[in-house]
């Protein structure tokens, strides 16, 4: 985890948040008000799962 600078900036995901929250952020856009849109128009859930695995984010 320490190898990924992004992990230090994403405590919600990398320190035990539910994997469902990762999908809520990346697909559904729950962080829109913080400046991150959802990408449901560009990604499907299997692609988001591959990204989650690449980042090493929580599986729970």
Q: Which residues bind ligand HEM (CB under 6 A)?
A: 10-13, 22, 25-26, 31, 34-36, 39, 51
What's the min distance (Å) between Cβ of 59 and ligand HEM? 14
CA–CA distances in Å: residue 20 to residues 2, 5, 7: 23, 22, 17
Q: Is the dihedral of CA 40, 23, 5, 36 positive or negative?
A: positive
What's the min distance (Å) between Cβ of 29 and ligand HEM? 10
Give the residue with the Cβ less far from ligand HEM, 20 or 51: 51
What's the min distance (Å) between Cβ of 34 and ligand HEM? 4
Taking the CA atoms of residue 9, residue 12, residue 18 and residue 23 in that order, the dihedral angle to the nearest 10 degrees is -60
């Amino acid at each position: 985890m320490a190898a990924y600078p992004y992990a230090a900036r994403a405590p919600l995901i990398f320190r035990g948040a539910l994997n469902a929250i990762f999908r809520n952020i990346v697909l559904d856009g729950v962080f829109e008000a913080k400046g991150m849109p959802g990408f449901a128009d560009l990604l499907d859930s299997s692609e988001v799962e591959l990204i989650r695995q690449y980042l090493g984010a929580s599986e729970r």
